Structure 1
Amino acid sequence: MLKTVLATGTACAAICSVFVVAPAHAQAADATTPAEATEAAEADAPAGEIIVTGSTRAERRFDVSYAINTITPTDVEKIAPVNFADLIGQLPGFQTEITGGEVQNIYRIRGLPNDGGFVSFQQNGLPLFHENDGVFFRGDAILKQDLMTERVEVVRGGPAPVYASYSGAIINAITVTGDETPRGKAQLTLGDTGLYRLDAMQAGPLGKDTYYAVGGFLRYHDGYRDNGFPNDKGGQIRANIKHDFDNGSIRLNLNYVNDHNVFYLPIPISDPTDPSVSLDPYIDYFTGTMNSPALRNVNLKWRDGAGQIQSRTSDLSDGRHMQMVNFGAQYDGDFDGWLVTARAGYTQGKLDFTAFYSTTNPADATTFANGYLARSTAAFGNVASFGYVLSGTNTAYDPYAASGLVMQGQYRDIHSKFYSAQGDLSVARRFDTAIGSHDIKLGLYASAYGEDSNTIYQNYLIEVAGKPRTLDLVAYGAGGIELGRVTDNGVLNYAATLNKGDSDATMFALYANDTWEVVPGLRIDAGVRHERYSYKGWAALTEQVNLGDGTTLADDTTRGFTGVIVNRELSPSITNWTVGANYDFSSSIGIYGRASHLETPPNVQTSMTVNPTILTTKADQFEAGLKFASGRSYLYVTGFYTNFDPLNASFLAYNPLTGRNDVPVPFIGEAQVKGIEFDGAWQVTPWFSLNGALTVSDPKYKNFKSSTGADPEQVEGNQIVRQPKVYGNIRPSFDFTTAGTDVSIYGRYTYMGKRYVDLYNNTALPSYGTVGAGISLRRDSWALQVVGDNLFNAHGLTEGNTRTDILDGQGSSTAIYGRPIFGRNFRLVISKSW
């Protein structure tokens, strides 16, 4: 096992503000020299940016046969995203949910039914962790935007399955590298949500043909919601050294992350006993959260494999504490037309994650208490009445002096160590033939990676309020004598879920791509990728136990380790392919089409799971597009169709008796999505422009089957859970110069269509739209920006209560429990460049 604890340290200066939506081109972050990219850009800049993600060598966006965007620092400034998911969500085909906080948000591409597992996060063409989803983290937790990001290239569909594993899309961050001209920037961001952030970057020459770049950020943030403790604290540093040779270059790089990010989860917004009654007076729609200082000293209890009761404390304010270091190297060389690229990286890290999850709806306080009458009577004797007290005390709490409701929540404590070594070697060569030219690329990618997990979930009883206090439910006998407590210091169920395991994997992939330019303007390309995996892991078996405390019911249905482990080995293999064609009628008008086949094997976590669902999923994707580019204006229109088969929509339903999600509801079927994307920019005048993106689609469930009592007919043809039919944005910008100052005034309207929380489409998440605006002033080397989000406090929900409502909803036509969007907020950004 290569997993060792990452040494801690402090992370330094420079933040993430570097992306933009404009015409782009895609190459799969693969071998192309900087000189080639520069020459191509200068040759035809009006037709679009140069890209290096998804193709053999650097190309114009306009010339490729797939959908790609480039996001630059200028674009990031005008989009003014609240987090990375907000930025990516402005692209067509990407439906993101930004309400979880700074990281671990939702990224969905063209209706693929997953919360992020089909989006590959890369840095300079190489992932930092091989799989897209680790144990409670994904790419945006270890690859954070800051001033060291020169641009982000985003491939939607197209050749993504050939150039990355598990990928229907690639998000590739290209980092800043130094050159002969020294340059730097420092940036201070202040927000009315208690945000303080310092970013810095410096780059330049280090010696003859040798250059450096270093930067990062430090950040403290109270948060968009009031936890009673800071939401985000920590930072990142990235650095690289590059040396140029006569025919290429070599670059060494370092990433270090040490960051805490608290996770926001759904909250109740209406009284389930009367959905017309808002709970806003008790838990504010925009600032309320179930996170609470009451959960900063949680006592976790479970039984180990030797039969001994164990305990440890946990602090909710630690949030998602990511510590990660990555070392990498990249070599690019041109040997008489043979382009050789070699990349390698090693990542090691640990994640300590605490969060307070939603479970069941709030309940009438009396009804909830009476639900424990039978168990309390059996445990304590004749129960005459129940009462509530503040947990661990005898201080009475009257729910009917407030909402009349009480509710449950689940505290999750997860610890994981992970490592990932990855390398990619490719060779490309262009050959002229009697019928056009072929640009062929062959590559080998390999990775050795793994992670472990130690997980405890336990349930709490809380009041319906922001920053809720924990409660105890007390059983009284005749004369008001306390007989016992349903809860113990607020705990309803100790160790309702208990897991421990370890996993290791090796994999290799062979890939090839040929771009055939038949005649000028007509290009056909095809690629294939074959992957083989080997997994080894173990998982510790558990059983239901009673810890033996007769004064409470909280330990009656606790999970305990049996001392037995289950070993598992898997050897999946998959083959992906793509074929596309592009025809340009002129330098500004063209068409393209593509078909791709994506297979995703089960991830390495299945080898450290007691009863995993082992399933290789497949998606066939088809797209056809029209493209137009003229000066600074462009329009890309792409029609797409995806068939995802098999789709495993099975889940474990929440069981209030055990406090666990342990009731299996199997659902296997297909997802079919057809739609059209619009991606455009219109330079109306030299001082006024419009950018925008729109996706219209029809995401459906098809051909579902269930082996239990759930009715698959009620799913047939329904809209895929949490996916809208229409979403998009429009962004006007006024740019002019007055009195020696460059002024930019810009706005953003973002629309999210109606979605559903459940497979049966019983409970809707209503559509919503938000408005943001900003102004930037630049004079000499100084810049100042003021930006505001959701200026009119629009209401909207991005998810329901996924622990309990996934099958048939929340018993209401619109969601009464969900994760609201953030309310109105403002940020001030001051920067100095040199």
Structure 2
Amino acid sequence: MTSRIRLLASIPALLIAGAAHAQAPVAQAAEAPPAEAAAPEDIVVTGVAQGRNRLDTSVSVSSLDADLTNKLPPRNTAEILRNLPGVRVEASGGEGNANISVRGLPVASGGSKFLQLQEDGLPVLEFGDIIFGNADIFIRNDLSLARIESVRGGSASTFASNSPGGIINFISKTGEQDGGSFQLSSGIDYREYRADFAYGGHIDANTRYELSGFYRLGDGPRGVGYDAMRGGQIKANITREFDRGYVRVYGKYLDDRSIAYLPNPVRVTGRDGDPTYANVPGFSINEDTLHSRYIGSVRTLDGNNNPVRRNIGDGMHPVVKSFGFEGQYEIADGWNVTERFRYSDISGDFVSPFPAAVGDAQATANGFAGAGAQLFHASGPLAGQRIANPGTLGGNGLLASVVLFDVDINSLNNITNDLRLNGKVDLGGGALTIAAGIYNSRQDVKTDWLWTSFFQSVQRDGRSVLVDIRNAAGVSQTAGGTLYSASFFGNCCRRSYDMRYTTNAPFAQLGFEVGRLNVDGSLRYDFGAAKGGIAGDLPGAVTTRAQDMDGDGTISAAERTVAFIPANRTGVDYDYGYLSYSAGLNYRLSDTLAAFARYSRGGRVNADRLLFGPTIDTTGGGLVPGAEPYDFVKQAEGGVKFSSGPVALYATVFNARTQETNYLLSQQQFTSREYEATGVELEGRFRRGPFSLTAAGTYTDATITRDATDATLNGNRPQRQAAFVYQATPQLDFGRVSFGANVIGTTASYAQPANQLKMPAYTQVNGFVLVRAADNVSVNLNANNIFNVKGITEVEEAAIPANQLVRARAINGRTIAASVRFDF
């Protein structure tokens, strides 16, 4: 391991590593002035008591400004985050639902468990991995974005709750520049139309504002034959400055629908350790989806067990109405009080088809309805007609047994408040910096799981149809191809969550600087409670019954098993508390070079993923004896930093030890594991004349050190954890014309922790050409995934099955778009 790190560290020229404009979330110190004269990208405000030059701090921070997202408009938010060093993003879920991790920390399930996503210094959701409520679903990128800032490891453990791996903060414009922009965008080889606007500036010398938003309509990156992407966002803020501080009020309204791309069928040949992934006939893994214009809605029972029709086209449908304010006041020379508050009303839906199995159409029908089963088109142009030759269905003879992940998000409302004091005093020939504060939040998790099932063909361009299956006697065993429960998951998962989680966290930091040496330490104590109730498929519960769903007065075969939520609810009520800490030192070797080291322990509370599992006592609603509802991450890191004019290089060696309890949704499995990850992270930038380059690379050696239920996994590499991930963005800017590329890549990884089937390495190349046709008019032509690579990010199967069909998620195929922007 040591030799591999030395080898990688010896070739920094390979990675003039980047996305590294070194700032960090204003969550840590709002609008603090720089402590030294330095380039703006080298001022750090994260995890330090006062804004400082990056070379004087012992934290790993980076920033992406809006210029990158304007030139290379991402097809979803997760695609932006892949440009942050040390951050691993599986950007294959669509506009949200991405899996995000940092520095080898595990992604055993979905979301961003150990990494917190923030907007303007406060968390989008308190927990980044709420089931069917991943935090990135509720964020949209538009012209309001000023920059994205991140801190990895280190002080993230003590300057935010539930974020021991790091923080990624989306920072909004606040009217510093007078004027605005209007932009029209359109897909060229895909159907999506979008309009963006932003306008801001000064009302008077002390008051400024920003107003922005977007609206879009179309299929999205994959053709489905209907407006799967439809909706938009409006954001506004106003800031009043005064002699000793400022006050800002802001709001956001988001109502948007987009597809959640779940696994789709792909053929795999060869060996587990050297597989070849290929499209099945008539269906592309990176250009198609099981969503279809011919499968629009399903009938089910809602959270109150009343019949309702649910629209599959709602997809990921976040509705967010938020209001907040922040302010800073200088109470004495060098001493500031900063206050942030936000209330977010969050609701919506998550509806998307998940294939529980894909196989030969006739064999699947026989397995469901007995030998001689008959298949009929149940939707689409041929609805009602018998499928005489199932071997030709959809052009490939395949039938998908789909469980519809259908969740009514009643409330993910949250209230957050962060109050802190920071200042500096002279002490013993040095400077003592002090920061202290209290954080409070309340997070709702109120959702109803309304899952159903259906059979559908596997076809491209959104032309899949429902398939009705009848027995040999011609009696239908489905209701037009559908079933009223999660039949292919053993009728599981009819659930209702009505939970509220509170988090309280006092924190403090001390730092001392003398000469070239800077040392600091910080503590955070998180305590809180989980209260509420759950109902559904708890042990011993009955969640299916016979019910006339179509109102014809008879009980059909499909109506014999209708899923419902039992009336009896189990109360949940428990408290928790834990301590996080972080300590670091930094030594300025010269004006351009510094070395640092840091050790941290941070915690993360497990929220709804504990429920319906062995950790909760379903009789009393508390924790089972000996169980703790939180996991710890222990991290050590150290490195060197160099910054001089147009060149910056940063190298960090890290080790992280993680304990984790989790719930794997698609496998209906609870896990308890320990992990270790060791690696090196390189980043930097280079500029000369019209040329600039930013890049980053992270090498990680990660292992499962202990699995509580399956010792055969001990020593294996965690699922989907590649040894090396990298990104690079070279650009040439000649004033009137700019062009460049964005390269994202990963080495191979294992689909599952059994370490059998591999997911191949891939490199995705994006590109852009920007022409400034006039002083205030620019035209952009950009391409995403130019070479149409099949970047596999997730596979459900642990090994190649006999029929050579697996269910996988892949990055989107090639899409080309154009935009025109007017600045005024």
1:537 to 526, 532, 538: 532
* Aligned-partner SS, 1:648: strand
Paired with 2:118 and 2:20, the residues of 1 have a C-alpha distance of 20
Number of the residue aligned with 1:288: 288
Number of the residue aligned with 1:227: 224
Number of the residue aligned with 2:60: 67
Paired with 1:388 and 1:344, the residues of 2 have a C-alpha distance of 57
Structure 1 residues 520, 187: CA separation in 2 closer, same or farther (over 3 Å shift)?
Answer: farther
* Residues 546 and 557, structure 1, Cα contact 8 Å, conserved in 2: yes
Structure 1 residues 609, 761: CA separation in 2 closer, same or farther (over 3 Å shift)?
Answer: closer
Residue 93 of structure 1: CA displacement?
A: 1.0
The answer on 1:689 being equivalent to 2:692 is yes
Residue 166 of structure 1: CA displacement?
A: 1.1
1:398-437 matches, cutoff 5 A: 398-401=389-392, 402-416=395-409, 417-437=411-431
Paired with 1:594 and 1:300, the residues of 2 have a C-alpha distance of 53
Paired with 2:664 and 2:785, the residues of 1 have a C-alpha distance of 34
* Aligned-partner SS, 1:140: helix
Amino acid in the other structure paired with 1:125: G
Amino acid in the other structure paired with 2:818: L
**TM-score between the two structures when normalised by the length of structure 2:** 0.88
2:376 to 372, 389, 399: 389
Unmatched runs of 5 consecutive residues or more in structure 2: 1-17, 549-553, 617-622
The answer on 1:749 being equivalent to 2:732 is no
Number of the residue aligned with 1:719: 717
* CA deviation string 1:636-692 (max 9, x = no partner): 1111111112x33664675xxxxxx4xx5x543211111111112123x31223221
* Residues 26 and 120, structure 2, Cα contact 8 Å, conserved in 1: no
Paired with 1:694 and 1:605, the residues of 2 have a C-alpha distance of 32
Structure 1 residues 366, 182: CA separation in 2 closer, same or farther (over 3 Å shift)?
Answer: closer
Number of the residue aligned with 2:5: none
Structure 1 residues 617, 372: CA separation in 2 closer, same or farther (over 3 Å shift)?
Answer: same
* Residues 672 and 702, structure 1, Cα contact 8 Å, conserved in 2: yes
Paired with 2:360 and 2:574, the residues of 1 have a C-alpha distance of 48
**TM-score between the two structures when normalised by the length of structure 1:** 0.87
* Residues 225 and 289, structure 1, Cα contact 8 Å, conserved in 2: yes
Paired with 1:370 and 1:326, the residues of 2 have a C-alpha distance of 52
Paired with 2:277 and 2:235, the residues of 1 have a C-alpha distance of 50
Number of the residue aligned with 1:698: 701
Name the stretch that deviates more: 131-140 or 256-265.
131-140
Q: How many residues align?
A: 764
Paired with 1:303 and 1:323, the residues of 2 have a C-alpha distance of 19
Number of the residue aligned with 1:582: 586
* Residues 303 and 559, structure 1, Cα contact 8 Å, conserved in 2: no
* CA deviation string 1:175-197 (max 9, x = no partner): 21224x62212222222222222
Paired with 1:372 and 1:781, the residues of 2 have a C-alpha distance of 63
Paired with 1:748 and 1:690, the residues of 2 have a C-alpha distance of 10
* TM-align CA RMSD: 2.7
Residue 429 of structure 1: CA displacement?
A: 1.5
* Aligned-partner SS, 1:280: coil
Amino acid in the other structure paired with 2:452: Q
Amino acid in the other structure paired with 2:478: T
Paired with 2:290 and 2:245, the residues of 1 have a C-alpha distance of 54
The answer on 1:312 being equivalent to 2:308 is yes
Unmatched runs of 5 consecutive residues or more in structure 1: 1-19, 377-383, 655-660
Residue 394 of structure 1: CA displacement?
A: 4.4
Structure 1 residues 752, 310: CA separation in 2 closer, same or farther (over 3 Å shift)?
Answer: same
* CA deviation string 1:547-585 (max 9, x = no partner): 167875434444333321101101011211111111111
Amino acid in the other structure paired with 1:820: A
Residue 399 of structure 1: CA displacement?
A: 1.8
Structure 1 residues 457, 299: CA separation in 2 closer, same or farther (over 3 Å shift)?
Answer: same
* Aligned-partner SS, 1:366: helix
The answer on 1:323 being equivalent to 2:319 is yes
* CA deviation string 1:398-437 (max 9, x = no partner): 3212323322111122112232111111111101111521
The answer on 1:217 being equivalent to 2:214 is yes
Paired with 1:513 and 1:273, the residues of 2 have a C-alpha distance of 55
Number of the residue aligned with 1:99: 92
2:661 to 639, 648, 652: 648
2:181 to 185, 189, 192: 185
* Residues 502 and 608, structure 1, Cα contact 8 Å, conserved in 2: no
Residue 816 of structure 1: CA displacement?
A: 3.5
Residue 246 of structure 1: CA displacement?
A: 0.9
* Aligned-partner SS, 1:75: helix
Greater relative contact order: 1 or 2 (C-alpha under 8 angstroms, separation 6 or more)? 2
1:601 to 594, 598, 605: 605
* Residues 187 and 829, structure 1, Cα contact 8 Å, conserved in 2: yes
1:314-393 matches, cutoff 5 A: 314-336=310-332, 337-360=334-357, 362-372=358-368, 385-391=372-378
Paired with 1:302 and 1:441, the residues of 2 have a C-alpha distance of 49
* Aligned-partner SS, 2:181: strand
* Residues 60 and 153, structure 2, Cα contact 8 Å, conserved in 1: yes
Structure 1 residues 813, 768: CA separation in 2 closer, same or farther (over 3 Å shift)?
Answer: farther
Paired with 1:142 and 1:303, the residues of 2 have a C-alpha distance of 23
The answer on 1:619 being equivalent to 2:630 is no
Structure 1 residues 508, 391: CA separation in 2 closer, same or farther (over 3 Å shift)?
Answer: same
Number of the residue aligned with 1:676: 680
* Aligned-partner SS, 1:162: helix
* CA deviation string 1:122-167 (max 9, x = no partner): 2222224333244522332323222222112111112111111111
* Residues 115 and 168, structure 2, Cα contact 8 Å, conserved in 1: yes
Residue 471 of structure 1: CA displacement?
A: 0.8
The answer on 1:760 being equivalent to 2:750 is no
Number of the residue aligned with 1:23: 21
Amino acid in the other structure paired with 2:641: K
Paired with 2:805 and 2:738, the residues of 1 have a C-alpha distance of 39
Number of the residue aligned with 2:8: none
Structure 1 residues 721, 556: CA separation in 2 closer, same or farther (over 3 Å shift)?
Answer: farther
Paired with 2:293 and 2:509, the residues of 1 have a C-alpha distance of 55
Amino acid in the other structure paired with 2:588: D
Amino acid in the other structure paired with 2:326: Q
Number of the residue aligned with 2:808: 818
Paired with 2:816 and 2:303, the residues of 1 have a C-alpha distance of 48
Residue 32 of structure 1: CA displacement?
A: 4.4
* Residues 628 and 635, structure 1, Cα contact 8 Å, conserved in 2: yes
Number of the residue aligned with 1:794: 789
Number of the residue aligned with 1:485: 476
Number of the residue aligned with 1:117: 113
Number of the residue aligned with 2:259: 262
Amino acid in the other structure paired with 2:711: P
2:169 to 168, 172, 188: 172
* Residues 566 and 610, structure 1, Cα contact 8 Å, conserved in 2: no
The answer on 1:55 being equivalent to 2:48 is yes
* Aligned-partner SS, 1:137: coil
Number of the residue aligned with 1:8: none
* Residues 265 and 356, structure 1, Cα contact 8 Å, conserved in 2: yes
* Residues 763 and 814, structure 1, Cα contact 8 Å, conserved in 2: no
Paired with 1:716 and 1:797, the residues of 2 have a C-alpha distance of 25
* Aligned-partner SS, 1:514: strand
Paired with 1:233 and 1:811, the residues of 2 have a C-alpha distance of 38
Residue 448 of structure 1: CA displacement?
A: 2.4
Residue 51 of structure 1: CA displacement?
A: 3.4
* Aligned-partner SS, 2:391: helix
Amino acid in the other structure paired with 1:731: T
Amino acid in the other structure paired with 1:299: R
2:438 to 436, 439, 444: 444
Paired with 1:604 and 1:151, the residues of 2 have a C-alpha distance of 31
Number of the residue aligned with 1:772: 766
Structure 1 residues 122, 734: CA separation in 2 closer, same or farther (over 3 Å shift)?
Answer: same
* Residues 654 and 679, structure 2, Cα contact 8 Å, conserved in 1: yes
Amino acid in the other structure paired with 2:720: R
